[in-house]
Amino acid sequence: MSLKKKILTGYGVAFALMGLVFAWAVMNLVSLGRATDAILRENYRSILAAENMVNALERQDSGILLLFLGDSETGIAQFRENEAVFLEWLARAKDNVTIEGEEELVRSIETSYAGFRKQFSALTDAGDKRPPFSLSTYRESVHPLFIKVREVCVKLRHLNEETMYAASLRAGRVAHRAIWSTVLVAAAALAVALIFSILLAERMVRPIRSFMKAARKISAGDYGVRIPVETGDELGNMASEFNEMAAKLGHYHEMNIEQIISEKNKGEAVLSSIEDGLLVFDTDLRATGINPAARRILDLHFAETDRPDCADILPAPCVCDLIRKTVEKGKQPDIPDEQRIISCPKGENTRHYLFSVTVIRGTDRSLSGVVLLLRDVTRLKEVERLKTEFVMAASHELRTPLTSLGMSVDLLMEHAAPALAEKDRELLQAAHEEVLRMKALVNDLLDLSKIEAGRIELEFEKVPVQTLFDHAHSVFRKQMEMNQVRFISEPGANLPPVRADANKITWVLSNLISNALRYTGKDGEIRLSAHGTGQYIHLSVRDKGPGIPPEYQSKIFQKFVQVKGQVTGGTGLGLAICKEIVRAHGGTIWVESSPDRGSTFTFTLPVAR
């Protein structure tokens, strides 16, 4: 018998036993399903109808009380609205009469409710001739009818509940018998299958053990091992092929060992000559290769044959998390450049390194490892720090002369402007506007420098999204009315509060709305919306302006970048400050835009815990 027939025979017996257990379980489930369906069909619908009739009746009684209290219009409307509900459920109860005594109770409900409706009609149809309403009138004429109808509805519910309880006991007994009978049948089938599988497996595994023993010898370097061919099935054929493979491996090993060693030495020389740190990790996040530059960067002294774990040699846990995600997904996650920098202490100094992760794939395109590259950017970080400090110092020094200049221009406009010629007044007004523009630019530069230097003070608190939207709307309400722009706020339903500095995030929203208002014409529309995604809330500002060309969308958040050919008037720093504020909150900001179809600016904030 061939190996295929042996395996099919084993599977055939197992499938036959599984089919027996399945058929028995289906029979028990069908029996149990009939019992539970009877409960639903005969009792639950009547219970539901009785409950809804009681609820509708009580709301009708409330409507009558409103009538007696003087609110006739509301009381009559409430009574008529719930009258239709009561009659609807009464009709359902009549259609579901399935047990003894239920039909009499339904008829009693119908008769009593007709009297209740008749009494209500008598109270409302008299018009101006009706006597004044009083509590005694309600107690004598209405309340007894209400109590009577309610008691009959409750009796109908109790009757079906008792019947439903008895039916559930019967279903429980059926389920108990089904469970034990299925367990017994399954246990017997499992025992038979287990015994048969052990016997068949032992017969099939015996030749495989010979393969395993021979494979271990080949992995140890013994290429002269051979497996005896004892059967004529597929395993016998595989033994012949295995023997031939072992002979060819021995021959190949003798031919290529020197070439392999040469290529290995060449690769190690290339890695040693690279000045950037280079680490190679396998799929278990263990280092399989580290070049000398990486050893100097990370101050590693263990032997080259060791395979340390990623967390044991890298000072930044975020890098190990990134490598782990790369191994899991088969590609590097997309993260911004500013988050790809790690710092390593070197004595009294600190070195900064820009890291990148690249996957290694085998010949079958499967992931076989990950390469981590560490590039020293300490000098660039220092230059950036000096640049930020220079901008901050220069902006700070400019504030005093600009303030003096602004006061001087304001005094000239107040006292000397009437005596000047028209052209001179225009020049003075232009100077006043340029001073204001310079002051705004200096303030923006100072704010941006503080944020980039990490000196911004944030007061985090739990802030509802609706509060942020309402405040932003109140700031621009008058401008939108003047420009005839519609403002739509969609804060989302049941959104949790965000963890944010309310003043800073309101500034971000105000800046985005101000930009949208600048590019939105009359009868335009600005829409604020929010929705949750995981542990973050996405807040969006959408306009229907001219849009942003694709070539500007990737750099619109950089300093001093403005779209050419569109309305200007800002400093080009607003979106850069928005980006830094959002980053300080642990979120991100981006834009989606198409020419002539408007723009949508979206940023994320973490959910408050």
Rg (CA), the chain: 41
8 Å CB contact between 594 and 505: no
Per-residue pLDDT at 550 exceeds 90? no
pTM of the model: 0.39
Q: Do residues 7 and 139 both lie within one domain?
A: yes
Q: Nearest 10 degrees: CA dihedral of 60, 62, 66, 69?
A: 130
- Order of strands across the sheet that contains 287-290: 287-290, 277-281, 367-376, 349-361, 341-346
Q: Do residues 111 and 50 both lie within one domain?
A: yes
Per-residue pLDDT at 78 exceeds 80? yes
Q: What is the DSSP string of 465-497?
A: HHHHHHHHHHHHHHHHHHHT-EEEEE--SSPPP
Q: What percent of the chain has pLDDT over 90?
A: 5
> pLDDT at position 563, please?
72
- CATH assignment at residue 478: 3.30.565.10
pLDDT band of residue 243 (cuts 50, 70, 90) is: confident
User: Burial of 381 by CB count in 10 Å (0-12 exposed, 13-18 middle, 19+ buried)?
Assistant: middle
Per-residue pLDDT at 129 exceeds 50? no
Q: What is the DSSP string of 339-357?
A: GSEEEEEETTEEEEEEEEE
Q: Do residues 435 and 510 both lie within one domain?
A: no
| Residue of 486, 484, 510 lying closest to 570 (CA atoms) | 510
> pLDDT at position 100, please?
81
Q: Do residues 146 and 51 both lie within one domain?
A: yes
Residue type, 35: A
Tell me, yes or no, whether 199 lies in a domain: no
Q: State the Cα–Cα distance between residues 464 and 494, nearest whole angstrom.
A: 10
- CATH assignment at residue 315: 3.30.450.20
Q: Do residues 414 and 315 both lie within one domain?
A: no
> pLDDT at position 281, please?
83
Q: State the Cα–Cα distance between residues 45 and 123, nearest whole angstrom.
A: 34
Tell me, yes or no, whether 125 lies in a domain: yes
pLDDT band of residue 304 (cuts 50, 70, 90) is: low
Q: Do residues 357 and 388 both lie within one domain?
A: no
8 Å CB contact between 577 and 445: no
Number of domains in the chain: 5
- CATH assignment at residue 420: 1.10.287
Tell me, yes or no, whether 20 lies in a domain: yes
- CATH assignment at residue 147: 1.20.1420
Residue range 272-295: average pLDDT?
A: 78
Q: Do residues 335 and 386 both lie within one domain?
A: no
Q: Do residues 161 and 15 both lie within one domain?
A: yes
What residues make up the domain containing 520?
461-606
Q: State the Cα–Cα distance between residues 113 and 121, nearest whole angstrom.
A: 12
Q: Which residue has the tokens 């609807």?
A: 88
Instruction: Render pLDDT for 482-531 as a digit per residue (tens, 0 to 9).
Output: 888 888 888 888 889 999 988 888 888 988 888 888 888 777 888 999 99
Tell me, yes or no, whether 208 lies in a domain: no
Tell me, yes or no, whether 405 lies in a domain: yes
Residue range 244-262: average pLDDT?
A: 70
Which residue has better confidence, 504 or 242? Answer: 504
